[in-house]
Amino acid sequence: MENRGGSEMRDGVPDKPEAVYFFATCLVDLFYPQAGMAGMELLKRQGIRVIFPPGQSCCGQPARNNGWFEEARTVARQQFKSFPKSIPIVVPSGSCAGMMHEHYPDLFAGQPDEAEAKAFSARVFELTWFLVHVCNLSLTDHGKPVAVTFHGSCHSQREMGVREEPKQLLRSLNNVTVAELGRPGECCGFGGTFSVRQPDISAAMVADKIADIVATGATEILSGDCGCLMNISGALKKTGAPIKARHIAEFLIERTEPGASSPTP
């Protein structure tokens, strides 16, 4: 019942545009640039011109979630300035997309630039949703057989309505088996500053997530959100589990390169 398809979250699916903006997110920019490059490459392969505005930084979510609204607005306004054309803004993170799509209208309620914020929000799309619904992406698998599992972030699922799209992309790869997590809707325990404000609870949550991942038998855990990935991969490495963690865009690019080999954990 809660498994609503992403397309239902929006009034409709837009036509495939000639060009899109790419909002990388600060985590991708600083820690996972390869995920950003892969995301842009996937879009380019669909014949879409990808624009990466150099003025972009962060969606403002850390400040907003901690109650610092004015600081969040200051950072958000920098993004308004950096993404001026009325073309889609594609984001390789359901959480940052959720901040911009779902929370900017509330954050800017009653502000002089409320209308601008709403117009910006309406242009924000999560990457896998955009690839499935707008691009009708079809993939050819060049990799060896592999079993993977997918962790959908809470915000991608509950704020952006992205539920089956990433798994749909993975299942379209002939040699990839998608092993479902036992608790696909359960939070990994990241929660931004939560992970350091409540380190014990966060640690218990990620430990359970890792047990779930290990139980699937997959050799690779993929996600569309680098916050969750930082948490999950950090905990995986600490436990020494031989499971690779990375952004789904990187995996899709690797699998669809002619001559791709199976990923080594």
Partner 1 sequence: MSPSSANFTGKARVALNDPKLRANFRRAMDGLMAKRAAQFTDRAEWTALRARGGEVRTRALAKLPELLERLEQRCAANGITVHWAETTTEANAIVLGILQAAGARKVIKGKSMVTEEMHLNAHLEAHGITTVESDLGEYIIQLAGEAPSHIVMPCIHKNKGEIAELFAQKIPGQRYTEDVDELTAAARRALRGEFAGADAGISGVNFAVAETGTLVLIENEGNGRLSTTLPPLHIAVTGIEKVLEKLEDVPPLLSLLSRSATGQPITTYVNMISGPRKPGELDGPHAVHLVLLDNGRSRVYADPQLRDTLRCIRCAACMNHCPVYTRVGGHTYSFTYPGPIGKILTPQLEGLDCAGDQPHASTLCGACAEVCPVEIPIPKLLVRLRREAVSSASAAVKGGGSGRSLAEALGWRGYAVVFASPPLYRLVSSLLGWFGNWMPAWAPMLKPWTRTRTKPHFAAKSLHQLARERGIDHE
250 binds partner 1 (CB under 8 A): no
Which H or E run contains 19? strand 19-22
213 binds partner 1 (CB under 8 A): no
Which of residues 184, 186, 244, 260 is near partner 1 by CB under 8 A? 186
Query: Which CB atom, from 170 or from 205, has the smaller least distance to partner 1?
Result: 205
111 binds partner 1 (CB under 8 A): no
196 binds partner 1 (CB under 8 A): yes
Name 115's Cβ contacts closer than 8 Å, sequence gap at least 6.
Answer: none
Rounded CA separation 92/102 (Å): 16
User: What residues from 68 to 107 belong to the interface with partner 1 (CB under 8 A)?
Assistant: 68-72, 74-75, 77-78, 106
211 binds partner 1 (CB under 8 A): no
Which of residues 132, 135, 178, 187 is near partner 1 by CB under 8 A? 187
Query: Which CB atom, from 68 or from 164, has the smaller least distance to partner 1?
Result: 68
Q: Which two tokens stand for residue 60?
A: 């403002």
The answer to whether residues 16 and 90 touch, using CB atoms and an 8 Å cutoff, is: no
Which of residues 13, 87, 179, 207 is near partner 1 by CB under 8 A? 207
User: What residues from 13 to 32 belong to the interface with partner 1 (CB under 8 A)?
Assistant: 24, 26, 28-32
Rounded CA separation 49/40 (Å): 9
Rounded CA separation 79/64 (Å): 15
Rg (CA), the chain: 18
Query: Which CB atom, from 148 or from 154, has the smaller least distance to partner 1?
Result: 154
Rounded CA separation 239/57 (Å): 32
Task: Tell me how far, at minimum, the Cβ of 133 lies from partner 1, in Å.
Answer: 20
The DSSP 8-state label assigned to residue 254 in this structure reads H
Phi, psi of 136 (to 5 degrees): 45, 45
Task: Tell me how far, at minimum, the Cβ of 123 lies from partner 1, in Å.
Answer: 16
